[in-house]
Amino acid sequence: MDRRVITYSRNVFLPLTTVCHNRCGYCIFRTPVHEGCIMRPGEVNEILAQGAALGCTEALFTFGEKPGLEPGFPELLARYGYQNILDYCYDLCETAIDYGILPHTNAGILTTSEMERLSEVNASMGLMLETTAKLRAHRFSPGKDPSVRIAMIEDAGRMKIPFTTGILLGIGETMEDREESLLVIRDLHRRYGHIQEVIIQNFCPKEGTPMASGKGVDTDEMCTVIMLAKDILPNDIAVQIPPNLADARQLIPCGVDDLGGISPLTIDYVNPEHRWPEFERLEEIAGNRVLQERLCIYPRFIRLGWFHPRLGPLIMKLDQHIRKEERT
């Protein structure tokens, strides 16, 4: 019998700005507008150069949602010659491509035209659904309205964008809410076939936030939700967990397919207190599974040609490269 495979992507994490229009009750990533809240082009370049030298294939651009709505941010961004964070992101995605790294952007809620434009320079994109429930944790976060998020994930499907989404556990939702969220993702995928992975992410309480006293989710509960996800989601969607936040070794037997993006260079800026496992430990974490590197665009979307033509040569080159590595 073939051994089951567990995949991961080798990435660099680029938080272009910590400014965000939402105010989620569990967040320590968001900051007010201040000097240094925008990652400078020189810093991005340096990380991309080092990431390329370390064999990274994915540039994860994740940053606060609609930062331009926060007073003072447009003026600060203008110092770098940009009026809009998405223009800034677009240009830095091009830089990543020049370094031979495929961009994957999660910029929060985007309009269809914003997504269409970014898809020219992104091999895949993402937006966590988090939950279909209306929660206290999100009461000051207009972008976390479930209907707004579902609409964007649906738009991505219409545009044939290979897409990552997921649910966040322990932010006040019930088990029924989790089931409903997974059913919504399943139904979107049935209509458009664009979901490549669903992250089952555990909320980790952070000092100094309104939800600092939250208890989080233990490994048994994570396992139950992973099994639920495997039950609900079609087989062509990978179930992913973040191995810096959860006990991946214990959870892989529950049905995990993927460990997400792991960086040899950058930290997880959303959960900076949780370090990535070392690459040398991944085999041990995978246990009796075959550990395999993947790109941020899954193989079936490469076969389907779900990417902008300008990304084709780099995708093919990196795809061949990681297949060759697999064989050696």
Give the interface with ligand SF4 as residue ranges (CB under 6 A). Answer: 20, 22-24, 27, 29-30, 64-65, 108, 141
Residue 144 has what DSSP assignment?
G
CB of 99 to ligand SF4, least distance (A): 26
> Other CB atoms closer than 10 Å to residue 247's CB: what's the count?
15
Spatial distance between the Cα atoms of 28 and 25, rounded to a whole number of angstroms: 9
Please identify, using beta-carbon distances, which residue of 135 and 262 lies nearer to ligand SF4: 135
Do residues 52 and 99 make contact, with C-beta atoms less than 8 angstroms apart?
yes
CB of 263 to ligand SF4, least distance (A): 19
Beta bridge partners of 195: 163
> Counting beta carbons within 10 angstroms of the beta carbon of residue 176, is it exposed (0 to 12), middle (13 to 18) or buried (19 or more)?
exposed
CB of 87 to ligand SF4, least distance (A): 20
CB of 16 to ligand SF4, least distance (A): 12
Please identify, using beta-carbon distances, which residue of 30 and 104 lies nearer to ligand SF4: 30
Please identify, using beta-carbon distances, which residue of 10 and 30 lies nearer to ligand SF4: 30
Cα-to-chain-centroid distance, residue 217: 20
The dihedral sign for the CA sequence 189, 127, 293, 42? positive
Please identify, using beta-carbon distances, which residue of 16 and 229 lies nearer to ligand SF4: 16
CB of 49 to ligand SF4, least distance (A): 27
CB of 143 to ligand SF4, least distance (A): 6
Spatial distance between the Cα atoms of 132 and 182, rounded to a whole number of angstroms: 9
Q: Give the 3-state secondary structure of residue 130.
A: strand
Spatial distance between the Cα atoms of 296 and 8, rounded to a whole number of angstroms: 9
Do residues 158 and 192 make contact, with C-beta atoms less than 8 angstroms apart?
yes
Spatial distance between the Cα atoms of 242 and 235, rounded to a whole number of angstroms: 20
CB of 141 to ligand SF4, least distance (A): 5
Please identify, using beta-carbon distances, which residue of 29 and 192 lies nearer to ligand SF4: 29
Please identify, using beta-carbon distances, which residue of 54 and 148 lies nearer to ligand SF4: 148
Please identify, using beta-carbon distances, which residue of 137 and 297 lies nearer to ligand SF4: 137
The dihedral sign for the CA sequence 89, 91, 92, 94? positive
